[in-house]
Structure 1
C-alpha cells in the first residue's frame, strides 16, 4: 500500500480481487462438473470431487497462486495438510483421484503446460472384511415372516431382498431397473452399472417369483401416469429411491433373527461370498458384481476360507 492510498481502498481492491477469483473458480468447477458427468461419473462422485476441489482452489488462493501455477509441490502440500487435519485414508485416496482428474482436465484444456497429476501416489485404503450372512442365516432371512404379505410394502421389501441377495447388484442398480430389464425366459437382469456400463446378471427362480408377486399384487396399487417403466416404485408412484430401498432391507431383515443388522451392501457381500463358497470362480463373480478390477473382488476370498478348507480336506492325502 502506498503512503497516499487509504487503507479502506486497498481492502476494497483486495475484496474485488477475491470475488473475481471465486467467480472464476466457480465457472471452472462448473465446466469440470460437465466433464465428469459426460464421462459417466455418478452424482455422488461428482459431488465429492467438486467438494474436494473447492478445498484445493481455496489452498491455491491462500498461497497467492493461480491455476497455471498448480504443480506437484502444491498438490502434495495440500494433501499433507489434509492428512495433518485428520482426513481418513479413504478420503485421502479420493482427494488424490479428484486432483489427478482435475489436473488432467486442466492440461487438456490448455490451462496447464504440464500435468502433475500422474506424479501423485494414491494411498492404499484399508479394506476391512465385509459383514456377511452365512448360508443358514440367508435361508432364515428369506423365509416368509409375520408381515401382511399382501401389502404393497411387504411385497416390495421381499422382492428387494430376494433380488439383492440373488444377484449381488448394488442398491442404486436395483433402483434403476426397468420392467423390460427382467428377462424371465433367460432368468437374467440387465443391470445399468457404474460408468454407464451395462451387464447381464443371472437371477434365481425364488427372486423372480418374488418380483412377479410384487408386479401382480403390489406395483399396481401405486402405479400412476408418472411411474414410467420403473420396476420398483415408491408409495407415490415414482421410481424407488435408494434411501427407501435401504430402509426396506433393514425393516425386512429386522423381522428375522439373523443377528447383526444387514444392509443392502451386506446382502451384496453375502451373495459374493456364497458364490465363492459354492465353487464359482473369481472372474465370474467379478462379472456378476460389475467390478472393474479383479482386486475389488479378491476381498471375498478372505471370507471364503470354508471353501479352501473343504477343498484341502477333499484333495490332500494327509488332510
Structure 2
C-alpha cells in the first residue's frame, strides 16, 4: 500500500473509531503529510527507524518546540502501530523512537482583578446593544464562568443552555457529554444576548442554525473568531499577545481552587479524565501563594 493511501485510512479511523477532536486529527494528518515529503516515493514498508529519527532531527533544526516534536513522535508511533496491527507492514519502525520530553510550563492565568476588568469592559461595550458586542460579552462570561474549551463553546446549541438552572450541556473530548454550572453574571449576559442580539445575527444567515453563538453572517461561530476576541481583550491584561480561550479556562480553574473548591469538583467541571491533569492548577495556586507571602510577610 502507498504511504498516502495508508495515511488516509489511519486518519479516517482517528475520527470515526477513536473519535479524536477535529483539531487533533488535523494535527496528525499535517505531521504525517510532512513525513510523507521526506519519504517521497518510497513504499510504506521501507520506512525505518533512522528515517523517523532524521525527520524529527530536521524539525529540531527548524526550531520546532519540544511540545510539537512530542506530538509529531506520537503521531508517527500511532500511525505505524496501526499499520502493523492491520498487517500493512511486517515491522513497526517507531517502537524505539524516543519522544522528546515536554517542558514543564505553567499555564497563563489572569488575576481575579484582571478578569474583572476584562469582563467589565466587555459589559460596558454591550450596553449600547450592538449584536457583536453583546455576543462577545456573553462568550467571555461563559468561557470564564464554566471553564469550558473553545471547541465546546462553539458546539453549544441554544437548547443546551438552561438559564433557569444556570447550566450548559457541552460535548467534550472523546464525545463525552457533561453539564456545567455558571453564575449570575454569565446568565445575565446570555439572556441579553439571546433576546437582543441573537435574532439579529440569525436574520443574516442563509438558513437558520441551532448554534448558540453565531458569527457576523449568522452561521455557527468558529474557533478563530473566539481566539481573536480573547487575544484582543485578554492579551494586554496578561502581557502576551499569544493568548487564547484556554487562558480563561486556566484562570477559572485556578480561581476556583484559590476560593477553596475541591480538586475533584474542579476536575468534573473541566471534564478532565485524569485528576493528574487538574493538579497542575494547584501548582499555579501555590506559586501565587508563595509570591503573596514573599510580598506581604515580614519574615519572608
- Please confirm whether the aligned pair reaches a TM-score higher than 0.5, indicating the same fold: yes
Matched ranges for 1:212-291 at <5 A = 212-224=191-203, 226-253=207-234, 258=237, 260=239, 263-291=244-272
Give, in angstroms, the shift of residue 292 of structure 1. Answer: 3.2
Question: By how many angstroms is 1:203 displaced?
Answer: 1.2
Q: Residue 68 and residue 258 in structure 1: after superposition, are their counterparts in 2 closer, same or farther (change >3 A)?
A: closer
> In 1, distance between residues paired with 2:195 and 2:73?
48
CA distance in 2, matches of 1:192, 1:271: 19
1:273-296 per-residue CA deviation (whole Å, 9 max, x = no partner) reads 101101123232222222333333
Paired positions, count? 286
Q: 2:111 aligns with which of 134, 147, 171?
A: 134
- The answer to whether the 8 A contact 1:188-1:203 is kept is yes
Greater CA deviation, 133-142 or 51-60? 51-60
1:97 Cα deviation (Å)? Answer: 0.8
Give SS of 2:180's match.
Answer: strand
Unaligned stretches of 5+ residues in structure 2 = 294-299
- How far did 1:231 drift? 0.2
**5+ unaligned residues in a row in structure 1: which ranges?**
1-20, 313-318
Could you say which residue in structure 2 is the equivalent of 1:30? 8
Which structure's CA Rg is the greater one? 1
* Residues 102 and 135 (structure 1), Cα distance of their counterparts in 2 relative to 1, 3 Å cut: same
Aligned-residue offset at 1:210: 0.7
Q: Does the 8 A contact of 2:4 with 2:36 survive in 1?
A: no
TM-score normalised by L of structure 2: 0.83
Map 1:1-319 → 2, pairs under 5 A: 24-38=2-16, 39-61=18-40, 66-143=43-120, 144-146=123-125, 148-224=127-203, 226-253=207-234, 258=237, 260=239, 263-305=244-286
C-alpha contact 1:277 1:307 (8 A) present in aligned 2: no
What is the CA-CA distance between 1:85 and the residue it aligns to? 4.5
Q: What SS class does the counterpart of residue 284 from structure 1 fall into?
A: helix
Residue in 1 aligned with 2:297?
A: none
Question: How far apart, CA to CA, are the structure 2 residues paired with 1:230 and 1:151?
Answer: 19
Following superposition, the deviation at residue 196 of structure 1 comes to 1.9
* Native 8 Å contact 2:141 2:186 kept in 1: yes
Greater CA deviation, 50-59 or 207-216?
50-59
How far apart are residue 306 of structure 1 and its match?
6.9
Distance 1:152 1:282, change over 3 A: same
User: 1: distance between equivalents of 2:189 and 2:161?
Assistant: 12
Mapped to 1, the partners of 2:64 and 2:20 lie a distance apart of: 23
TM-score by length of 1: 0.79
Following superposition, the deviation at residue 183 of structure 1 comes to: 2.3
Separation in structure 1 between the aligned mates of residue 195 and residue 131 of structure 2, nearest angstrom:
10
